[in-house]
Amino acid sequence: MKKSVIILGAAVLLSACCERDGDALTPETECLLRTLREVPQKGYMFGHQDATVYGIGWDGDRDRSDVKSVCGDYPAVCGWEIGHIELGDPVSLDSVPFDRIRSACIEHFERGGINTVSWHLDNPLTGGSSWDTSGGTAVVASVLPGGANHQKFLGWLDRLASYLDSFETAEGVKVPILFRPWHEHTGSWFWWGKEHCTPEEYRQLWTMTHDYLRKKGLRHLLYAYSPAGGAPQEDSEARYPGDDRVDLLGFDYYQLNGTAGEEDYVRVMDDNLKRLVGMSKLHDKPIAVTETGFETVPDSTWWTRVLHPVLDRYPVSYVLVWRNARERPNHYYAPYPGQISAGDFMDFYGLPQTLFAGDVKRLDL
Ligand code: BMA
């Protein structure tokens, strides 16, 4: 028998109403926030990046996901990447048509799932990618008010806003989105990273983004704050943009160095989760592992032996593993039929604590 039916009591559903700037979030978005807060009482949701738009050996098929091909259900959380929306391009930096991302996101909402969006936007000063840090400290400074690229950047936000605003069902319901901008900023591999802006500039960048999107009337976005795992807690706190502009706290961290990296992975995950629980109490926010995984999952028992035990010790809302790239061999993080961890993933799926799309539907989002 799979997991027990999940019913959240009416009292729980009435808690934690979110209203900011006097403008309420849409009811579905408030509901998403309540789900993120309350779900750890039942377990944690499993998420996969780009889950339903491509996978190993396929691209653009309908009603398909590598995770579903293995265990029979969709992930509860789908992550979507919208880098290059700022350029007005028809496809993302990972070559997924933006129309396809929108329809996949709406479909996932309609099946009861949760959507989160990341944004690896280009460098507005150099024209390079997110990873182009050659502009040094000039880049973030250039997009802030008074900077040479401020107007250009607001134009990018306009494109982002009108795209996200179009995430609407046939009945006119805006699809709630957990937006996760400016992530891994306690590292320095992105142009908005630690060495490329002061804590104050980073907070300004976040505030400007958040407030501009609010001003554009977007009421279906929640915001996830997602530093790099393993970074000092003080960096994460120093750059924190404030409780009224953040809805969920997370971090990104991967198992590196093959199976030899397991001990380090578990230790860093444990440390980060412990700290995150402290930060969550301080700021009254739900927590998640916003990106993780073990590239190619070369360990046949990784899901139940490594990932699950560490997550199970903390009140985590969700865990999201990165994408199964169809264009980069050996860049995949979820199992697919025949992959060596697929059997263990079935056991992971069967655990009462792991929640997939079918389980979350019963939360009645
Ligand atoms: C990275 C890799 C890249 C990809 C980027 C944005 O971690 O997967 O190939 O372009 O994320 O999705």
Average pLDDT, integer, range 109-114: 96
Whether 275 is covered by a domain: the verdict is yes
**Whole-prediction pTM:** 0.94
- pLDDT of 40 reads 96
Whether 129 is covered by a domain: the verdict is yes
Long-range contacts (CB closer than 8 Å, 24 or more residues apart) made by 323-331: 323/48, 323/49, 323/50, 323/79, 323/81, 323/94, 324/48, 324/50, 324/54, 324/55, 324/56, 324/66, 325/54, 325/94, 326/54, 326/55, 326/56, 326/57, 326/58, 326/59, 327/95, 330/295, 330/296, 331/295
- pLDDT of 6 reads 41
- pLDDT of 23 reads 74
Distance 52 CA to ligand 1 centre (A): 16
What CATH number is associated with residue 73?
Answer: 3.20.20.80
Q: How far is CA 335 from the centre of its chain?
A: 19
Ligand 1, atom nearest to 323 Cα: 8
E strands of the chain, at which residues? 19-20, 23-24, 44-49, 54-55, 58-59, 77-81, 114-118, 177-180, 221-225, 248-252, 287-292, 316-321, 354-355
Total of domains in the chain: 1
To test ligand 1's pocket by mutation, which of 54, 56, 84, 94 has the most ligand atoms within 8 angstroms of CB? Answer: 94
Is the pLDDT at 365 greater than 60? The verdict is no
Whether 291 is covered by a domain: the verdict is yes
Whether 5 is covered by a domain: the verdict is no
Structural domain boundaries enclosing 342: 10-361
Whether 336 is covered by a domain: the verdict is yes
pLDDT, tens digit, for every residue of 218-234? 999 999 999 999 999 99
**Percentage above 90 pLDDT, the chain:** 92
Whether 1 is covered by a domain: the verdict is no
Whether 4 is covered by a domain: the verdict is no
Distance 297 CA to ligand 1 centre (A): 17
Residue type, 229: G
Query: Taking CB atoms and a 6 Å cutoff, what residues make up the pocket around ligand 1?
Result: 81, 83, 93-94, 120, 322-323, 331
Ligand 1, atom nearest to 94 Cα: 10
Whether 181 is covered by a domain: the verdict is yes
Answer whether 84's CB lies under 8 Å from 122's CB. Answer: yes
Distance 109 CA to ligand 1 centre (A): 23
Which tokens belong to 44?
């944690």
pLDDT, tens digit, for every residue of 129-144? 999 999 999 999 999 9
Mean pLDDT, the chain, integer:
94
Distance 170 CA to ligand 1 centre (A): 31
- pLDDT of 80 reads 98
